[in-house]
Amino acid sequence: MEMVGEARLEAAREVVWDALNDPAVLQASIPGCESLESTAENEFTATVVSKVGPIKARFAGKVSLSNIAPPRSYTLTGEGSGGAAGFARADIEVSLDALEPTVTLLRYGVKANVGGKLAQLGSRMIDAAARKSADDFFELFRKQVDGRASDSTLSSGVQPAGMQAFMQQLSAPVGEAATVEAPAVASVAATAPVATEGVTAKASTSEAVPAASEPGRAPAPRDVPAQPAPTPVSQVPAAEAQAAVMDVLTSEKIKVWISDQVAVVTLNRPGSRNAMTYGMWLAMPSIVAALDRNPEVRAVIITGAGADFCAGADIPEFEKVRADVAQATTYEVAVDACCDAIANISKPTVAVLRGYCLGGGAHLAMSCDFRFAGQDAMMGIPAARLSIIYGVKGTRKLLSLVGLAEAKKILYGGQRFDATHALRIGFVDQVAGLGVVASGRSLWERLIGAKQQVARSDPMAEARTFATSLAGNAPLSMAGAKYLLNGMAMGTGALDLVRSEALIAAAAASDDYREGRAAFREKRAPKFQGS
């Protein structure tokens, strides 16, 4: 008998891991467990009273833990004899994914065998009993963990060292001025010089020398998003830029959490459906730049707190910051700079969409490489209802994702569309719970070669599994592919062929390329360093 399942627990992963290794918690969670005593490290004797159909028996045997990889996974093996009733053995593979600082997805796969009288009961009865035992176990386990969750501090799941390092990167001096750079996407660069309090902006051009062609300068992955001829469009004095970033971070309007090489950036204004304030647009480029520089981060997920991804720009604030043509122009520069910064980070990015994803929120989502939606996600670009022309870059991204006809329907109509429609037209890549194929694995699970089934109902769990699967791939290869594809998608003028060739050459000269070939020869997993 084999089965898989999952449980979403409201507790930090370390808390769940500790509970999984606590004999008292296990005893209280295993249905019918009368005793569980430690005999050696990771070995216990156990007595369990169990009823399968008409047969009720007391099983005595042992429980052992193996393949232990704290705080992520282990295999729990239980085997026991129930006397005349027969015997049972179960190997349970348990793995923990940290979805959020205090939310853990526990997944399990069970392989069980029974013998003797029990085996004569038939597989249907045994399967039903096993499923019930698993359900009961996780219900009881949840109660134990919930009791412990209140003792946990945020830092137990947040990896404080990573966060501190991240804050330090943000606070690091950035020269005279922190420059919010807009990549020179020549086909769309047409902004007239504008100025506003503390922020100056000027038109981008396509004339500057590509960064990679500077003598002696090999393109590192973090340089890739610089795109050809990065031209400052919005120069914020260093102190002011840092103050804006720190304000957004300390007021937690944008939260960052790094775990297992994946950074999760959360838009955090759930009371306003995570609508983006001007300060948030301004702060985001520095935040993603810091993540791009951070070697501990291999992939980035962007999501919203609570029920929604993002209901777009903060509309009430328009009276103050987007009231006339000059302000609107400056405002759109900040939006573009934010979305470009996300689009051009050298690492893979996934937007996790739940609830509303509207207007500027849709631009944020389209700036990510991939979009994973929950079934409740509701997308739309209501610009035509506010008499706003959606920006050139946002429109271009929409066009390349959904094609001309669908883009026109979305922009002319301003109507919202649901996750199923979004999947059909190509706006999202995956909807949690949809697309499961006959083999029992979804298309994504097959593509990424997931050994276990991925959560059926949680787009964050799917996104994390996917992001983690990419985290082991060659950073230079992915960064180069991203640069080429984004450049091509944004129009031929956006793509610098010289820089493209330089990237390809740098990847061919890299240690990672040698490592990839060596790993293939030696039949082992490669260890890429990004250089």
Stretch in the footprint of ligand COA (CB under 6 A) among 101-109, 244-252, 354-362, 504-512 = 354-362
Torsion (CA) 16, 18, 23, 25 in degrees, nearest 10: -40
Amino acid at 124: R
x/- map, 31-70, ligand COA, by CB under 6 A: ----------------------------------------
Closer to ligand COA at the Cβ: 129 or 358?
Answer: 358
Which backbone phi and psi does 358 adopt, to 5 degrees? -125, 150
Tell the smallest beta-carbon distance from residue 311 to ligand COA (Å): 3
For the chain, give the number of residues. Answer: 531
Using CB under 6 A, pick the residue from 86, 157, 162, 360 that binds ligand COA: 360
Closer to ligand COA at the Cβ: 304 or 360?
Answer: 360
What angle is formed at CA 396 by the lines to CA 426 and CA 206, rounded to 5 degrees?
140
User: Strand, coil or helix: what is 253?
Assistant: coil
Residue-wise DSSP of 284-319? HHHHHHHHHH-TT--EEEEEESTT-SB-SB-STTHH
Q: Segment 380-399, which members bind ligand COA (CB under 6 A)? A: 382, 386
Tell the smallest beta-carbon distance from residue 321 to ligand COA (Å): 12
- Burial pattern 464-480, b for ≥16 Cβ within 10 A else e, equals bbbbbbbbebbbbbbbb
- Retrieve residue 427's tokens: 């706006």
Closer to ligand COA at the Cβ: 391 or 459?
Answer: 391
* 311 belongs to the binding site for ligand COA (CB under 6 A): yes
Question: How far apart, in whole angstroms, are the C-alpha atoms of residue 64 and residue 257?
Answer: 34
- Those residues whose C-beta lies under 8 Å from the C-beta of residue 73, and which sit 6 or more positions away, are 67, 93, 94, 95, 96
- What is the number of the residue whose Cβ is closest to ligand COA? 359
Question: How far apart, in whole angstroms, are the C-alpha atoms of residue 378 and residue 359?
Answer: 11
Q: Segment 228-287, which members bind ligand COA (CB under 6 A)? A: 272-273, 275
Q: H or E stretch including 38?
A: strand 33-40
- Number of residues this chain uses to bind ligand COA (CB under 6 A): 15
Closer to ligand COA at the Cβ: 311 or 432?
Answer: 311
DSSP symbol at 436 = B
Stretch in the footprint of ligand COA (CB under 6 A) among 30-38, 48-56, 146-154, 313-321 = 313-321
Torsion (CA) 23, 24, 26, 30 in degrees, nearest 10: 130
Closer to ligand COA at the Cβ: 82 or 312?
Answer: 312
Closer to ligand COA at the Cβ: 109 or 374?
Answer: 374
Stretch in the footprint of ligand COA (CB under 6 A) among 83-91, 110-118, 229-237, 352-360 = 352-360
Stretch in the footprint of ligand COA (CB under 6 A) among 46-54, 250-258, 310-318, 485-493 = 310-318
Using CB under 6 A, pick the residue from 157, 219, 312, 480 that binds ligand COA: 312
Q: At what angle do helices 511-521 and 497-508 cross, to 10 degrees?
A: 50
* 105 belongs to the binding site for ligand COA (CB under 6 A): no
Radius of gyration from C-alpha coordinates of the chain: 26
Tell the smallest beta-carbon distance from residue 284 to ligand COA (Å): 16
Using CB under 6 A, pick the residue from 16, 313, 407, 470 that binds ligand COA: 313
Amino acid at 179: T
- Retrieve residue 404's tokens: 């001309």
* 359 belongs to the binding site for ligand COA (CB under 6 A): yes
Which backbone phi and psi does 119 adopt, to 5 degrees? -65, -20
Q: For the chain, what is the total number of helices (H) and then of strands (E)?
A: 18, 20
Tell the smallest beta-carbon distance from residue 404 to ligand COA (Å): 22
Closer to ligand COA at the Cβ: 267 or 350?
Answer: 267
Using CB under 6 A, pick the residue from 98, 290, 338, 358 that binds ligand COA: 358
Tell the smallest beta-carbon distance from residue 315 to ligand COA (Å): 4
Stretch in the footprint of ligand COA (CB under 6 A) among 278-286, 299-307, 355-363, 474-482 = 355-363
| Strand ranges across the sheet with 231-237 | 177-182, 231-237, 199-201, 194-196
Stretch in the footprint of ligand COA (CB under 6 A) among 104-112, 291-299, 306-314, 488-496 = 306-314
Q: Is residue 319 exposed (0-12), middle (13-18) or buried (19+ Cβ within 10 Å)?
A: exposed
Closer to ligand COA at the Cβ: 163 or 384?
Answer: 384
Using CB under 6 A, pick the residue from 122, 215, 316, 449 that binds ligand COA: 316
Closer to ligand COA at the Cβ: 145 or 379?
Answer: 379
Closer to ligand COA at the Cβ: 7 or 358?
Answer: 358
Question: How far apart, in whole angstroms, are the C-alpha atoms of residue 43 and residue 267?
Answer: 44
Closer to ligand COA at the Cβ: 386 or 436?
Answer: 386
Using CB under 6 A, pick the residue from 24, 128, 195, 315 that binds ligand COA: 315
- Which residues of this chain interact with ligand COA, rule CB under 6 A? 272-273, 275, 311-316, 356, 358-360, 382, 386
